[in-house]
Amino acid sequence: MRTPSTVVVTGGAGFIGSHTCVELLEHGYELIVVDDYSNSSPRVFSRIQRTAGRPVHAVHWVDIRDRHALSRVFDRHSVDAVVHFAAKKAVGESTRNPVEYYDTNVGGTTALLQVMQDHGVHDLVFSSSCSIYGDADRMPLRENSPARPTNPYAASKWTCERILSDVCRFRPEFRVLSLRYFNPVGAHPSGLLGEDPRGRPANLMPYLAQVAIGRRESLRVFGDDYPTPDGTGIRDYIHVMDVAAAHRLALDHVHEGTGMRVFNLGAGSGTSVLELVAAFGAACGRPIPYAVEGRRPGDVAALVADSSAVAREWGWQPKYGVAAMCRDALRFQRLNPFGYEDSADPVAVAAGADVQTPE
């Protein structure tokens, strides 16, 4: 197995990106991170270094839509492959500002592809999303289930997949792995890395964690009249450590195939909102207060993955269950009640890494 040694990670300071950086560093990859910190903090790099035992090689403060700045990054390093996380990801926000979502997610991806092409870099691992399936009628979802995006965020991810598919079709030197994550949650078991949303969390798990430590009073459960056993929405939660491990496998294997290949990444089992509330209560040793409200617009009853393709292909299996997801999310929240910005951090930001100012 040949492993590409130097990898550009766009969005490497974010939730999934930071955990993936640790996994890749632990497996010998040299990393060049590109991030504009629009939804993250450069403080994460000292934690990545502490967790992995070595630093990312370089960090560039660049908006991926700025192809000149991005091009300079590729000029400076000899790049073998790219993992592309950088995107905007809040479904609700995407309905209020669709142009921004298409600009960042689609425009950012085309800028990256142009720069990769100009620099002869052709191996890409892309962050896609279960949201592209929309309101599906048959579970579990397979990679060939129809895409029916119901909001601009999901549509932007689906548009990226179609662009990537065309690029691979007409420029066969490109090899792309698109990973459709279901609901990544949890945190690094050390408590050093985790999900650090800005403002009121839009997603269930970080909200539960903030209620558990008393930062918020009570969870709002969005609807208990879905056609599910307890009436609340069912999702396929997957530990971020398992998602990170899948990216390492993807990079190990990206050069083996041809064209574009797509894989679901889920645990393959559904958990309802009330089941997750109970699991979180068990993790923190006291019940989580909640109140049922009306359905959240755009929500669907259930989304569960069939991830057998990635298991067959690379032997990937999720290692962490729902109890571990809750335990690790809680540990991170307890150790970092207000996220990275406000927690004491004795190691200088990005110690050992070449942190750039905006380019």
Token representation of residue 79: 């790049």
Q: What is the dihedral of CA 36, 255, 168, 116, to 10 degrees?
A: 40
| Piece of 59-67, 109-117, 202-210, 314-322 that binds ligand WQD (CB under 6 A) | 202-210
Least Å distance, CB 205 to ligand WQD, is 6
* Distance of alpha carbon 27 from the chain centroid: 19
Binding partner of residue 86 among ligand NAD, ligand WQD, none, CB cut-off 5 to 8 Å per kind:
ligand NAD
Which residue's entry shows tokens 């700045």? 69
**Residue 114 engages ligand NAD in binding (rule: CB under 6 A):** no
Rounded CA-CA distance 33/11 in Å is 7
Quick one: what does residue 14 bind among ligand WQD, ligand NAD, none, with the CB cut-off 5 to 8 Å set by partner type? ligand NAD
Q: Per CB under 6 A, does 273 bind ligand WQD?
A: yes
Q: How far apart are CA 102 and CA 114, in angstroms?
A: 17
Residues 246-265 that bind ligand WQD (CB under 6 A): none
Kindly identify the residues of this chain, within the stretch 116-135, that bind ligand WQD according to CB under 6 A: 129, 131
Within 13 Å of residue 355, how many CA atoms lie on the same side as its CB? 15
CA 208 from centroid of its chain's CA atoms: 19
* Residue 204 near ligand WQD by CB under 6 A: yes
Q: Which does 64 bind (CB under 5 to 8 A by kind): ligand NAD, ligand WQD, none?
A: ligand NAD
- Number of residues in contact with ligand NAD, rule: CB under 6 A? 27
Shortest distance, position 10 Cβ to ligand NAD, whole Å = 6
Nearest to 14 by CA among 106, 118, 90, 103: 90
Catalytic annotation present for 153: yes
The active-site residue out of 29, 133, 153, 207 is 153
Please report, for residues 80, 120, 222, 237, 282, the alpha-carbon distance to residue 17 in angstroms, rounded to integers and kept in the order given. Answer: 18, 24, 28, 17, 29
Site for ligand WQD, rule CB under 6 A: 89, 91, 129, 131, 183, 202-204, 207, 219-222, 233, 235, 273, 296, 299
